[in-house]
Structure 1
Amino acid sequence: MIIDISRLLNAHTPTWPGDEPFSYQLTWPMSETGSVNVGQFTTSCHTATHVDAPYHFRDNSLTIEQLPLDIFVGNAMVIDVSTKAKITLDDVENVDLSDVRRVIFKTNAWTDDEFPTTMPLISPDLGSFFLENGIELMGVDLPSVDPLDSKTLDTHHSLLQNGVHILEGLNLIDVEPGIYKLTALPLNIEGADGSPVRAILEK
């Protein structure tokens, strides 16, 4: 069974305030070409479901096409933290992570078509814990792993320092906790600070 955990991209897709919204338009309709429809789209690299490259928040760091693809394919543990105002070590210390390299937090804090105004806090302390337990990717159903008004991006930096990559903007409404196979491959965009992905889980 395949579960699509990507957010739909259209004219109503919520975008980080002030960032480039998603737009698709038909450049050449079949009525003009006589053979094909050809469209184009514009968007921020961080709209809807996306991967952050380290370059997004640290100059002279890895860009999206430089990231190893195996990070984004493989077993992932979905952990339900939907009752939590803050996600901390207490939420993962007793979870068996021996068979996974990826952790996905289901917060249910972004379940509609509006950009959220509040989100659960994610403790930067998770970075070192994940390193100790072999976790290389953290995913969230939030637009960011840091507070919306953060300028220091403590959790972003902690995850990077501990070798943990970031997948944001997931749609986990219909996903139960447990182990799945995740596929969430970023586009091969040279020099980019992030990339939209089509993320799926397989049970």
Structure 2
Amino acid sequence: MALVCLSVLIPVISGEMKVVDLTWAHSASTIYWPGNPAFNFSIMSREKLTNYWYESNWFSTPEHGGTHLDAPAHFSKDSWRTQEIPAERLIGPAVILDVTSQAKADPDYRVTQADFEAYESKHGRIPHGAIVIMNSGWGSRYPNKTRVFNSDQPGTPSTFHFPGYHEDAITWLVANRNASIVGVDTPSNDHGQSTDFKVHVILGENNIPGLENVARLDQIPEKGATIFVGSIKLFDGSGGPARILATFDQDAKPCDCVSSSSSIATFVGTSVLSVLLVSCIV
């Protein structure tokens, strides 16, 4: 009988462990796709009561704006809605695809299969359960709506020019690697000029969540970080705001961890004191 062990190395104490917040704060400046209502934040109470200070606020937001998660149901009717995404799909080893030079030369650039192959030539095979994110350098434009959409008409999607993935590259990734999430630092996993949103459709039909407007990707390594996606668990939702964190040992050389197709691989250096959690299924 086969023995399958699922291992997760969790760094708990390290003077060298770094945590980077990959999230833009939700506020009045949050960028939404045209046609969505604006973010709303209202103060209900901020006052000193007899024995304590008390605050309570009210806010409303569309699901898809700022740093957020797309549930597969966003573009696939029978796929996972937000609350149905398994928790283990929200944690995984980071794969950061640096296409900043390509995007600088061509704002309509779409990540290709060759970009994935180039990454693997440099860093090794994309691991099971990876959270794959394109870094196009677009984070430096946020939250300037004109610069993020790269258009003087930010209310007109047909004028948008920003990078994303090519549908052929995503088809290859889905067929050949077991990624948990696919994301970008731009407003959409599809490039700005897309009208059919094929990347969204392919990801949705394969139950792969998406991340958009991911922040500060230049502050984490292309390989070696672990990403945690704290998405709102909105019942019946097609997505929602997300707090995305990356952690890595900034002094350690990343190691490749052997994992099954359902395990979470993490990269932990020698200076990190870790707890090894092992769940074995016989």
TM-score (norm 2): 0.66
RMSD: 2.1
Q: Which residue of 2 aligns with 1:119?
A: 162
Deviation (angstroms), 1:158: 1.7
Contact 1:7 1:49 in 2 (8 A): yes
Q: Which residue of 2 aligns with 1:54?
A: 72
Q: Which residue of 1 aligns with 2:62?
A: 44
Q: Which residue of 2 aligns with 1:19?
A: 36
Where do 4+ consecutive residues of structure 1 move more than 6 Å?
none
- What percentage of aligned pairs have identical amino acids? 23
Q: What CA distance in whole angstroms lies between the structure 2 residues aligned with 1:159 and 1:63?
A: 13
Describe the shift of the 1:9–1:53 C-alpha distance in structure 2 as closer, same or farther (beyond 3 A): same
In the alignment, is residue 200 of structure 1 matched against residue 237 of structure 2? no
Deviation (angstroms), 1:68: 0.8
Runs of 5+ unmatched residues, structure 2 = 1-17, 103-108, 150-160, 249-282
1:2 to 10, 19, 22: 19
Describe the shift of the 1:127–1:147 C-alpha distance in structure 2 as closer, same or farther (beyond 3 A): closer
2:125 to 71, 94, 97: 97
Deviation (angstroms), 1:98: 4.3
1:145 to 186, 189, 196: 189
Larger radius of gyration: 2
User: What's the secondary structure of 1:92's corresponding residue?
Assistant: helix
Q: Which residue of 2 aligns with 1:168?
A: 212
Runs of 5+ unmatched residues, structure 1 = none
1:77 to 92, 95, 98: 95
Q: What CA distance in whole angstroms lies between the structure 2 residues aligned with 1:44 and 1:146?
A: 19
Deviates more, 1:73-82 or 1:57-66: 57-66
TM-score (norm 1): 0.89
Q: What CA distance in whole angstroms lies between the structure 1 residues aligned with 2:168 and 2:86?
A: 24
- Give 1 or 2: higher strand fraction: 2
Q: Give the count of matched residue pairs.
A: 203
In the alignment, is residue 88 of structure 1 matched against residue 116 of structure 2? no
